[in-house]
Amino acid sequence: MDPITHIVAGAAAAALATPETAGLSPLIPIAVGVVASLTPDLDFLTKHFSQAAFLRHHHGITHGILSTAIQGALIALTFAIFVGMQFYIPLLIAALAAEMTHLILDMLLHSNGIAILSPFTERRFSIPLLLGINPLTALAQCHLQNIAVCTLCQLNSAIRNPLPLVLFIGAILGALDFAHVRIYAGVCITFMALWYLLAWWARTAACTHLRKLSDYKGWELLGPFPANFYLTRWLGVLRREDVYETVIVQLGRKGWLSRYSHGKNRLGTHLASAKQSPMRETFETAAYVPFETEKEEPGGYKVTWIDLSHAMDPQIELVSVHVHLDEKGRILRSAFRERWNTAVED
């Protein structure tokens, strides 16, 4: 989920959750909501260490209910020190409301879910509505540049997606007409609810459409996954025995738009050995439909895992893991590779 949506949703939830009788200027709980809406994503900093660390820890402990409660309590305390400790409880309510919007949005949009019970268990939970990462967003290269470029990239993604755009407009209107900011906050939350109801309907319709494709009678349907920002194009992953195919359908249009086959290209010689790689285990905690291939290379073999829920065509590997083995099946090295920087494996 992009930070713009997180910020506006958190600010709106904080404004609505704070009682008008608390005696606070609406600006204070909104500021609390902005800060609290972003703190669960502090684990994004792990991406600067390695892709493995990012996959292992993102949506982990900082997205747990206990951690978000502690984060909210600390944020409320920080603001209360400046505006008065008598306002601590209203500020705490605002912070917790904003934190909860972050958890809910991430559960709706991320295939691997979030570890809401961390640190007691690292099991991840998701609401199967819009699973997967949108390739149009994930293929951007802003993280290779600097903060300014990254910010522009996020704004570009938000402009393409009507949800954060409408929320952003609501936030601007609320700032211009501050006396009625709670009304605008209510409109933002209502729009979000309607948007996700529409998303649920679109996903259900896409699922029905995919199951009716005459070419795939008897195939198991995995997905579907959103294939663009507007809920009209959906990626279905279909499986029959050892053969996978990815199919893109468009609502309101008969048949499939494109189709790619992923046969089980594995020799079976070193697949079991490659599964001993810790990186492969980390990858599969984040992958929704992990698909493996094995092929010979000079001096041994390479086993590759990709997530078919992102595979709009066979050339796209948003994130994949590669395990290199010698001829006797001993692991030489394991590496993550990102689609936008295929020359580098970390």
> Average pLDDT over the chain, rounded to whole?
81
Average pLDDT value for residue range 190-194: 87
Question: Where a domain ends, among 180, 200, 220?
Answer: 200
Report percent pLDDT > 90 for the chain.
20
DSSP category for residue 270 = S
Structural domain contains residue 149: yes
pLDDT of residue 346: 45
Structural domain contains residue 217: no
Encode pLDDT of 59-91 as tens digits. Answer: 888 999 999 999 999 999 999 999 989 999 999
Encode pLDDT of 221-237 as tens digits. Answer: 987 887 766 678 888 99
pLDDT greater than 60 at residue 146? no
Domain with 297 in it: 271-341
pLDDT of residue 36: 95
Structural domain contains residue 28: yes
One domain, residues 300 and 152: no
DSSP category for residue 267 = -
One domain, residues 21 and 119: yes
Report percent pLDDT > 70 for the chain.
83
Average pLDDT value for residue range 258-264: 80
If one counts the domains in the chain, the total is 2
pTM (two decimals): 0.79
Structural domain contains residue 277: yes
Structural domain contains residue 329: yes
Query: Residue type at 139?
Result: L
Q: Look at residues 342, 345, 297 and name the one whose alpha carbon lies nearest to residue 324.
A: 297
Encode pLDDT of 280-316 as tens digits. Answer: 888 877 777 888 888 888 888 888 888 888 777 766 6
DSSP code per residue over 102-153: HHHHHHHH-TT-B-TTTTT----B--TTS-S--HHHHT--GGGS-HHHHHHH
pLDDT greater than 90 at residue 263? no
pLDDT of residue 25: 84
Structural domain contains residue 325: yes
One domain, residues 36 and 147: yes
